[in-house]
Chain A
Amino acid sequence: MAASDAVPVSPATARESDAEARLWRRLTVAWMLIVFALFLVLLLLGLAMRLSQANLLQKLTPEYFYAILTLHGLGMVGTWFVGAMAGVSYQLTRFARPSLGVARFALLGTLLGVVLLIAATLVGRFGTGWYFLHPLPFYSAGVWPQWAVGAFFAGLGVLGVTWTVWTLDLLRALARRYSLGGALAWPTLRGRSGPETPPFVLVTTASLLSGLASFAAAVIVLVLYLAEWLGTDVKNDPLLMKNLIFFFGHGLVNVTMYLGVALVYDLLPPLTGKTLKTNRLVAAAWNLAIGLVLVVYFHHLYMDFIQPRALQYIGQIGSYLISIPAAVISIFTVLYLVYRSPVRWNLTSLFLYFGVMGWAIGGVQAVIDSTIAANFRFHNTLWVPSHFHTYYLLGVVMMILAFASHLGREATGVPDRPGLARLTATLFLLGGYGLVVMFAFGGAHSVPRRYSIYPQELAQGALYARVSLLFITVLVVGILLYLWDTARNCWKAMSA
């Protein structure tokens, strides 16, 4: 989107009444407070794992380490997915009318799913990692009981159903207002005049459609697992299951990132004094992304040499190609918005802007990691957590935290604190990048990921973990400063 695209977009106010608007705000604030609480708990679990790897928490046995690893991975991905969905739902109410009832159902379903996952992992010690590769759940080596397997899959099932219903409702609302083709800016793509599709609507629709595909894969995996678990004659194929699981997992993470980008498209322009609209280039890029996102997951299976060779090629080519529209359209657009603009730098704009920077730097790592020849040396080393923590912690998490900050201030009218915002962002970035660079450094020195403790021949891993603890401390201070400001505003908004 260039300067000529700077035509103001005036979203139709779709909320029926002020009372409905208040209910949406209250619900979204509740979501943000839950997200903060989960974030803190999951962050502490991450810290515990790094302490264990640094040989500073010897009481953490491997059984609990892997249970915590499973909860940390699934929990963080799920927490920020619902955070993004809640944020997008709230912003979407300015354009369309999603169902408040479904949004409340999503909250309850998510809480139930979380309780089941916590029971399976922290109580039942279910420790397969987030990706529960077939047939590991059935080979517990005496660690987790059968009920933990059931609770884990029940939790995933509840979350899968809940999030699918939630996604479908948002798509319904979008289709009702714009038609599905309209929400995907197809008239713009064809060069036809017609109702304008705001970029936020386009990105949200593209993201949600990709999300549906991921959830469909998750449902298939769960049904196949269930059939085997119940003792039927079904004997699942590990390679097929691995493909389905990574299709689901990679898709979910991608969707979360794209929903975060949708928030950037919506929240950043007003803070820069510029406006955006959807042109043909933007429409083409996001429609293309829906297709490409479905095939890039193959890069998770490069080290399965028996995977058909064509799929390996598609994995690398798709991963390279998808980075071009992301960089040329979205990242460039954000730079355009800020360049020489009278930006109102506050917690929201800082976290949105530097969240996009995290997306860009994580993208550099993603391209490297999706190169089969490089993946041969980096797969399942600490390089990989470096990449996805950059994408997540320093990317989409910052975008959603920016939304929460915006929401808290909008609800309470508390003025910006630019000095505090700069300090918070500085500590967050310093600690966060220190953390991810130490992960990458470990990967470059052949340290595997998902090791509860490093054996003697990989003793350097413990040293790197100790160094990273310094950066984690800085990061935690930054997060606490953020929460001191934003969580207080959200709390006030809840009780108002």
Chain B
Amino acid sequence: MTDPTIEEKVRAIIVRIAKIEAGFSADADIFRELGVKSAAALDLLLSLEEEFNIAISDDAFGDARSVKKIVELVASLQGAAA
């Protein structure tokens, strides 16, 4: 089961960078459905790498467009590094 603290941290990063209200669906596409500007993608990527001390490939990041997918990606990269 995924560590819930990852989701909390991911949500906090998205809220900070995209300046959107917290409490959005974990399944929502953050760019299309939540209206996060595509220009915020790089800041989101760099913040995730820094917060979780991982390296995320551009392809993997491109496929992770919801909180749920990002949490799964972070968890898998942390697992791979452990």
- A and B form one complex: no
| Interface positions of B (Cβ within 8 A of A) | none
Interface residues of A (CB under 8 A from B): none
